[in-house]
Structure 1
Amino acid sequence: MKPRIVAFIPAHNEEKSIRDCLAGLGDQTLPKDVELDVIVVADNCSDRTEEIALEAGLEFNLSLRVLTTKNNKQRKVGALNSAWKSIYGDPLDLYDKKLNIQEEYYKHSIKAILGMDADSRLAPDALSQLWEGLMSSRNIGGVMAKYTMRMPKKKSLISKDDVQYEEKIATGQYGGPISRWWTHQQKQDMASWLLGLQYSGGSTYVLGGQATLFRPEALQDVIDENKLDGPWQDESDVEDMLLTWQIQKKWKTLISPTARCFVDAMRSYHTFRQQRNKWQSGTVELLTNSDIGVKSKHRGKIWGSQIKSFINLTIRVLLILLIILATATDQFFWSWIWLTPVVIASILNTILAIKTPMHRTIDVILAALLISPEIYLWVNLITFGNVWLGKFSAVKKDGWATQYNAERGNTRSKLAEGIIAIILLIAIGTYLCIDHRAFLTSETVQIAVQPYLETGWVVLTYLTIYSTLAMLYQIWRLRVNHKA
């Protein structure tokens, strides 16, 4: 048999996206003498995913088969492991079935396994580029594509009289200004992360599930070392990061400098929050739960990212509290030097916006004005705070279920209530400060408050200096001509 790549595509009710995913595989130029097989796992589906996948396989001339799962409790992890067991066998099989000669030849012909999400699409030649990276060295266990969020088309392009208006909106191909704004922010965030990985030599601490090419021997090592029935585990909300850390014990995990994969973004505040909450809580669990029994060589970098978020949150909360206290007691003094970190942040975000693939002019302007980056950062900081507070809670939430429910509209956002609560707090606080101004600005209160203000401003100054130096270092690294 010729050497081959086998694609595993778990698909839970993905009738709207699976055809596009398979069309991307049909566009690929395969490496010389290498064949491609595709396994779509229709996981607990109640729609036409299986039917559409089979039709697309014929349409795009793919060697495709569909596996169906029923009552799979492990969701994506269970679907991926089903695809693995269909080739390599099930260690939990009581009858210990042996592969026949044909199956053994087929198994040994597989030189790479492509893990893909059903709502992702590889750019043309991406598979060859991933293959080139994986085969460049014997010790490489996995190579990840560079991800770019797909920008939805303007909703205004569809006529309201179009009989398929609601159906077209439901596909996610069209969106309003807010969904397009959210998409770009995630795209810029991803671009910043990818650039950081490339500046560090291309080694990654997570081989994303959207599109990664694995070496089968590396996945088998994970199974053997951890006594598993399949490479993927559901012990973490970030199963791809857990798998990557396990692979890194013996193998390198890299990002491809050229292969690109287009993925769907979360297009609302609510779905974005639920996704990031799952990612953040899963990351924190891997960092702090010793029972999982795996550590990454990138552990310091990941902790550094957590500390950076903590400092960003502390700076903003402390600044707000100090300004309120200083203004209320008539002890606030403006200094133009405060604009220094603001200007540097503006330069940094402008460069990142420009380096983001397929950026829009409005996105660069909003980045330069720090409007978009600051809003987006606050949302992430709220998630960061919630996750770490939840770490001390006795109740563990199911991140996968929460995200699924949010994406399907089964839960709703509390953003409106939060904004109203903040406005009411500001209004009440302003009224109380004005009503009690004589007392708050009295010499007795000013003297009592002054030591706290001085200490707070000193702490804020040191934190801001550290944050500013970190931004300058990031700007200096961005001079290298890497592409996100």
Structure 2
Amino acid sequence: MRWPRCSRRSSPVPRSAASQRFSPSMIPRSRVLSPRGSSPGSARSSRRSTSRRWHHRVIPVLGGQFSLFSVRALEEVAKRENQATPWIMKSEVEDSLLSLQIKSAGYETMLSASARAYVGGMTTLRSLDGQQVKWNSGAVELMRSNPRHPSLTQRWMEHISMFFNGYNRFAFAFLLISSLSISAFEFYPIWIAPTVVAILLNLKIALKIRSRNFRDILFAVLFVPAELYLWVRIGHFVRSWWKSLFGGQSDNWAAQAKAERGRGNAYLVAPIIEVLVLAVCLFVQFKLPIAVQTAVILPLGWWSLAVLTVTQTCIMLVSLLRPTHGAKV
């Protein structure tokens, strides 16, 4: 993964130290940059000069795996926010929250174009579900508490995109089964175009991986593995918003730790609910008269799905044709 140049905590502060006042000695000196990478002042001029010097890209929200900080920035954040430490350990997305606070203090958060920090990922669906639901739930809470913060625009776009991805696939499954049940389905070759564009975009992303292997390329061109993983992500998305809106308070840190120990079956909730909702919708559909299905529901459903699919395909084409200038991840 890429290595943010001046951003989040370099090493976690123990929970027992939460009551202590922040001091630079709490941060390992070997992992902290000098303030020149994140000097306060004009954001526009700072962005230009720093980008030219380090060839980095300004990003709104930093990754949480490994980062370097300006001690001055952390001190100012702790002082401005009246916190014992620069980051709040109780937050489920303390890295994102710290990113917003750093930018609000007048500093830049940047991503290195060359440095990498290789970290391990989750190896099971159970542990992946615990991690992603925790992250997404925290992100939703952060977005709802700061809905107009400019650094969260990308987050909002990602969640809006995930909503339409979920609707698109659910609607296609519903309309396909409904049409086949009354022999009203007609296939048009143009429908293959979105799939082809998606495969090419996945392949472009795979080729940008610096340490890619044959499995990365195969994952991209086969399409089905990427599609199945997207369904898993849609489940994380739905569960996170549900927990944020209706679930009340819960300890997602403990839930993730439980999942990583191989306990709990929460990762099965989303696919079961998806199948049940689809079954209920189909049951209601089959109870309607054939004339209503063929004259109202199916035409309107396929038309709305076509408009959404064309829009998403155009967005993918823009991403596919956008030059990368040799960038690697």
Count of residue pairs brought into register by the alignment: 303
Contact 1:238 1:283 in 2 (8 A): yes
CA shift for structure 1 position 233: 1.0
Q: CA deviation at 1:240?
A: 0.6
* Partner Cα distance (1:281, 1:224) in 2: 27
Largest Rg, 1 or 2: 1
Whether 1:404 and 2:257 are equivalent positions in the alignment is yes
Structure 2 equivalent of residue 379 of structure 1 = 232
From 296, 299, 306, the equivalent of 1:454 is 299
Q: 1:459 to 1:422 in 2, by over 3 A?
A: closer
On the 8 A contact 1:236/1:285 being kept in 2, the answer is no
Match of 1:191 in 2: none
Match of 2:311 in 1: 466
Q: What residue number does 2:136 align with?
A: 280
- 1:263 matched to 2:119? The reply is yes
For 2:98, the equivalent position in structure 1 comes to 243
Offset of residue 331 of structure 1: 1.1
Q: Secondary structure at the match of 1:404?
A: helix
TM superposition shift of 1:407: 1.3
Tell me how far 1:403 sits from its aligned partner: 1.0
- Which has more strand, going by share of residues? 1
Structure 1 residue 373 displacement after superposition: 1.1
Distance in 2 of aligned mates of 1:466 and 1:417: 27
- In structure 2, what is the equivalent of residue 481 of structure 1? 326
After superposition, the C-alpha distances for 1:7-65 in whole angstroms (9 at most, x for unaligned) are 9534xxxxxxxxxxxxxxxxxxxxxxxxxxxxxx6x5xxxxxxxxxxxxxxxxxxxxxx
Aligned residue number for residue 135 of structure 1: 36
Give the equivalent residue in structure 1 for 2:84.
Answer: 229
Aligned AA for 1:138?
Answer: S
8 Å CA contact 1:204, 1:253 repeated in 2: yes
Distance between the aligned counterparts of 1:243 and 1:337, measured in 2? Answer: 46
Tell me by how many angstroms 1:229 deviates: 1.1
More helix by share: 2
Measured after TM superposition, the shift of residue 220 of structure 1 is 1.3
Whether contact under 8 Å (2:132, 2:236) holds in the other structure is: yes
Which residue of structure 1 aligns with residue 6 of structure 2? none
CA–CA distance in 2 between the matches of 1:449 and 1:280? 39
**Residue 162 of structure 2 is aligned to residue 317 of structure 1:** no
- Deviation of 1:362 after TM superposition, in Å, equals 2.9
Relative contact order higher in (CA < 8 Å, ≥ 6 apart): 2
Deviates more, 1:458-467 or 1:393-402: 393-402
Name the CA shift for 1:380/1:82 in 2 (closer, same or farther; >3 Å): farther
After superposition, what is the alpha-carbon deviation per residue over 1:303-335, rounded to whole angstroms, capped at 9, x for unaligned? 111111011111100101111111112211111
Question: TM-score of the superposition, structure 2-length normalised?
Answer: 0.80
| 1:361 alignment partner, one of 185, 195, 214 | 214
Alpha-carbon distance in structure 1 between the residues aligned to 2:314 and 2:119: 33
Q: CA RMSD in A?
A: 3.4
SS at match of 1:405: helix
Unmatched 5+ stretches in structure 1: 1-6, 11-40, 44-71, 89-106, 115-130, 141-200
Query: Against the structure 1 CA distance between its residues 380 and 349, is the aligned structure 2 distance closer, same or farther, given a 3 Å change threshold?
Result: same
